[in-house]
Amino acid sequence: MMEFETLPKNIISEQLVQTSKSLQSFRDKSLFTDVILCAGDEELPCHKAVLAASSAYFLAMFSSPYREQQTSRVKLDYISPWALRRLLDFAYLGCLEITETTVQDVFLAASLLDYPIAVKYCVDFMKNHLDVTNCLGIEALAEMHNLTDLAQSSHKLAVENFSSLLMESNEWTNLPISTVISYVSSDNLDVPSEQFVWDACINWVDQFSETRIAYLPQLLSHIRLKYLEKEMLEIQLQENPLIIECRSAQNIIKHFLHNVYNKDDNTSMFINNLPPRPATLKRPTLVVLGGLNTCILNCMQSFSPSRTVWQTCPSMPVDSLAWFSVIVVANTLFVIGGIKAGALMDTVYAYSPTRSTWSQRKCMPQARARHSTVSVGSRYIFVFGGVTMSVNSSHNQHSSNRVIPNHSREISSLSNGRNHNSSQLSVFNLNLSANDSDIPTINFEKSIIRYDICNDTWLNVGETDNPRLESHVVLVSESNDNTNFSRQSSDGFHEMDSEQNSLPSDLPDTTSVSENNITTNNSNGDTNLINKTRRRNNSMNVNLDRVFVEIGGITESQPQGTDQVAFYRLRPDYTVVCAADYIKLPQQVRYVNCCVHQVS
């Protein structure tokens, strides 16, 4: 009996690679080929032996007594030429080239031609590259081919990112009604409000309204109407052409409005009694807006601490905006003022997280930037400091009327996407005239203005004696019951702040203060430092319930940062009075953040 020596695995592998490369070379040169595969307008010469060895589909075809066994041409319908070339490379060389945009075509071709290894690779690739732009299409593909795990993974991702999916994907309006219902009926649908579900259903019907309008009543049964705004539903009844055309949809909404808002108990036949979707319940959310990278950004992202995920939000409606202020009031985010392309802006933009839309509000009375904003309650926004521009500074009643020196660097560099540490302002887009009195001047703004969110109006409500840029303002001692913040000390004196000399009353009458710590200064002499001891004059005897505190920033006298902490009294009529008192910090600071800890 003859004995054969077993070759090392590396030699066998080397031989297989050489054979594969030779066969691929023969295919490229059409040498020894005996069949031509036709896909679309392309003809690809191949070897039957290689095809039969790599695919059960071709093995059955070339082994059968039918015409394909004898023919030298095989037409392959429903397969793209590009996908067929990739599969032939896989059959000859064992390598498969796919991308996120081509994997579904290759998967379909591999499934049809029975290449199970290629199918598995495509499935793994799709599962590892799922995102909101492709999950709906992959889910439909997986369900069609009974790929349960892939379908479940796709559906889960879509449910958990539904609001982002609606903004970034164009696949939603192409789904069948059964898939649409599987989403809008889900309790776990990730939407900031039920309005998103309404909009998704209306957009789906509107895509092919002639055939889909019949599904509108069925979709309404899965929308939780009682968590939509009454005014919105009334407008839809009057103005939405889909609702007007569909009588059944009209009746559902009319009966809902009549029965629910008239407190009729017989509503079960018209609406479901499902609770709100958990995602629509208000939860704290961190929002990141704008910033500087290689350029000035206008993007916005939100982070949910409960889900520990980042989500993309609609970008700001204006690009290249810098030195603006951001504040959240009544669950609405406001972007106020700023600088764009070297020009001061007076614009006010509002973002509604429940609708995921931006809107423009009434502009400020005067363009300003590098200012500070603070809210009071759920109605008012106060704007402090910043820079403004005036053509004739002698007639500007609310500005410091001085040109900021050397204002030719920072904002111009910022507009070019470069960071700059200078305390100086930049060049604005100025059109200088021959008359010196018409030369624009850049001013430290003294006026304090108030925005009324409900009435969309601005009002001048006060002035500051020492205007700042880039400061931080907080509201302290906010009280809804007009609490008297007077406190009697051990020596019988009441610690209170006068209207013109308001100073926080959180320190006793006698407090030891080191030389390099807090000192106080009062232009009227009511507060002073004697032998390293701070004493408060007992003549301050006026009730105070709300105080603004301004800290940090730069002033004309301290361009590198200020050490003065200023105080302002908020009157009952929501006007602001600047206090003469201030506290000095241990050192000058420019960019600073602070917060208030209210003791209940």
Tell me: pLDDT of 232 over 70. Answer: yes
Distance (Å, whole) CA 353 – CA 332: 7
Residue 226 counted as domain residue: yes
Cβ(338)–Cβ(324) under 8 Å?
A: yes
The better pLDDT of the pair 333, 480 is held by: 333
- What is the percent of the chain where pLDDT is above 70? 75
Asked whether residue 512 is assigned to any structural domain, the reply reads yes
Judged by average pLDDT, the poorest of 39-48, 81-90, 246-255, 512-521 is 512-521
Q: Is 354 exposed, middle or buried (0-12, 13-18, 19+ CB in 10 A)?
A: middle
What tokens appear for 502 in the block?
A: 């308001």
Is the same domain home to 69 and 199? no
57-61, 285-289, 445-449: lowest mean pLDDT where? 285-289
- What span, in angstroms and rounded, lies between the C-alpha atoms of 426 and 513? 40
SS (H, E, C) 306-363: CCCEEEEECCCCCCCEECCEEEEECCEEEEECCEECCEECCCEEEEECCCCEEEEECC
Q: Are residues 250 and 311 in the same domain?
A: no
Q: How many residues belong to the chain?
A: 600
In-domain check, residue 464: no
In a domain, 375, yes or no: no
Instruction: Give yes or no: residues 231 and 320 share one domain.
Output: no
DSSP secondary structure of 176-239: -HHHHHHHHT-TT---SSHHHHHHHHHHHHHHTHHHHGGGHHHHHTTS-GGGS-HHHHHHHHHH
Same domain, 334 and 293: yes
Same domain as 296, residue 277 = no
The CA-based dihedral angle spanning residues 18, 21, 25, 26, taken in that order and rounded to the nearest 10 degrees: 70
pLDDT score at 335:
96
Last residue of a domain, one of 66, 99, 129: 129
**pLDDT over 80 at 123, yes or no:** yes
- Assess contact for 42 and 71: CB atoms under 8 A: no
Residue 324 in tokens = 């603006």
Which of these, 378, 296, 395, 392, lies nearest to 345 by C-alpha position? 296
Q: How confident is the model at residue 423 (pLDDT cuts 50, 70, 90)?
A: very low
**pLDDT given at position 242:** 96
Q: Is the pLDDT of residue 536 over 70?
A: no
Query: What is the model's pLDDT at position 27?
Result: 83
Looking at the predicted structure, is the pLDDT value of residue 328 above 60? yes
The beta-carbon contacts of 24-33 under 8 Å, at least 24 apart in sequence, are 24/89, 24/92, 24/93, 27/88, 27/92
pLDDT computed for residue 147 by the predictor: 95
Same domain for 495 and 562: yes
Write down which residue in 129, 151, 184 finishes a domain. 129
Q: 322 and 391: one domain?
A: yes
pTM of the model: 0.57
Arithmetic mean of pLDDT, 591-597 = 78
User: pLDDT-derived band of residue 405, with 50, 70 and 90 as boundaries?
Assistant: very low
Q: Which domain holds residue 240?
A: 176-281
**Could you tell me the pLDDT band of residue 506, with boundaries at 50, 70 and 90?**
very low
Tell me, what's the pLDDT at 598? 66
pLDDT at residue 462 greater than cutoff 80 = yes
Neighbours of 94 (CB within 10 A): 12
**Mean pLDDT across 400-419:** 41
Angle subtended at Cα 229 by Cα 227 and Cα 231, rounded to the nearest 5 degrees: 155
* Residue 540 predicted with pLDDT over 90: no
Of 141-150, 269-278, 415-424, 554-563, which gets the smallest average pLDDT?
Answer: 415-424
pLDDT band per the 50, 70, 90 thresholds, residue 589: confident
pLDDT at 81 over 50: yes
Residue 455 lies in a domain: no
Proportion of the chain above pLDDT 90, given as a percent: 46
Name the phi and psi angles at 37, rounded to 5. Answer: -95, 130
Q: Which burial class, exposed, middle or buried, applies to 460 when counting CB atoms under 10 A from its CB (0-12, 13-18, 19+)?
A: middle
Q: How many CA atoms does the CB half-sphere of 396 hold within 13 Å?
A: 25
Distance, in Å, from the CA atom of 223 to the CA atom of 410, rounded to the nearest integer, reads 51
Confidence of residue 538 (pLDDT cuts 50, 70, 90): very low
Write down the pLDDT at residue 392: 60
Please provide residue 256's backbone torsions phi and psi, each rounded to the nearest 5 degrees: -65, -50
Asked which of 12-16, 78-82, 172-176, 525-529 is least confident by mean pLDDT, the reply is: 525-529
Residue 362 falls within a domain, yes or no? Answer: yes
Task: Pick the more confident residue, 108 or 583.
Answer: 108
DSSP state of 280: G
For residue 178, name the pLDDT band (cuts at 50, 70, 90): very high
In eight-state DSSP terms, residue 554 is B
Q: Which residues pair with 302 in a beta bridge?
A: 287, 311
> DSSP character for 279?
G
Nearest 5°: phi and psi at 493?
A: -85, 145
Report the C-alpha gap between 356 and 191 in whole angstroms.
10
Q: What is the pLDDT of residue 30?
A: 75
- Say whether both 260 and 338 belong to one domain: no
- Final residue in a domain of this structure, among 239, 255, 281: 281
CB 368 within 8 A of CB 375: no
DSSP assignments along 563-595, one per residue: EEEEEEEE-TTS-EEEEEEEEEEEEEESS----
- CA 462 – CA 466 distance, rounded (Å): 13
Please name the amino acid found at residue 394. S
Task: Report if residue 348 sits inside a domain.
Answer: yes
- Looking only at the bridges linking them, the beta strands covering 73-75 and 35-39 are parallel
Question: Is there a single domain that holds both residue 187 and residue 263?
Answer: yes
Residue 429 CB-density burial (10 A; 0-12 exposed, 13-18 middle, 19+ buried): exposed
383: which residues sit within 8 A by CB, 6+ positions away?
A: 325, 336, 337, 364, 368, 371, 372, 373, 448, 449, 450, 451
pLDDT at residue 240 above 90? yes
What are the φ and ψ backbone dihedral angles of 287, each rounded to 5 degrees? -115, 130
Query: Of the ranges 37-41, 244-248, 362-366, which one carries the lowest mean pLDDT score?
Result: 37-41
pLDDT of 510 reads 33
Where residue 230 sits, what CATH number does that domain have? 1.25.40.420
Q: Which of the four pLDDT bands, split at 50, 70 and 90, describes residue 551?
A: very high
Same domain, 405 and 488: no
Q: How many domains does the chain have?
A: 4
Per residue in 235-261, is it b (16+ CB within 10 Å) or e — as a string?
A: ebeeebebbeebeebbebbebbbebee
Helices (H), 29-115: 48-54, 56-63, 67-70, 81-93, 103-113
pLDDT, greater one: 434 or 326: 326
Question: In this structure, are 323 and 436 located in the same domain?
Answer: yes
Query: Position of tokens 């609490």?
Result: 483
What rounded mean pLDDT belongs to the chain?
78
Query: At 167, is the pLDDT very low, low, confident or very high (cuts 50, 70, 90)?
Result: confident
User: Do 204 and 125 reside in the same domain of the chain?
Assistant: no
Q: Is residue 423 part of a domain?
A: yes
Nearest partner of 300 among 236, 258, 349, 242, judged by Cα: 349
Residue 543 confidence (pLDDT) above 50: no
What torsion do the CA atoms of 93, 94, 100, 101 make, to the nearest 10 degrees? 40
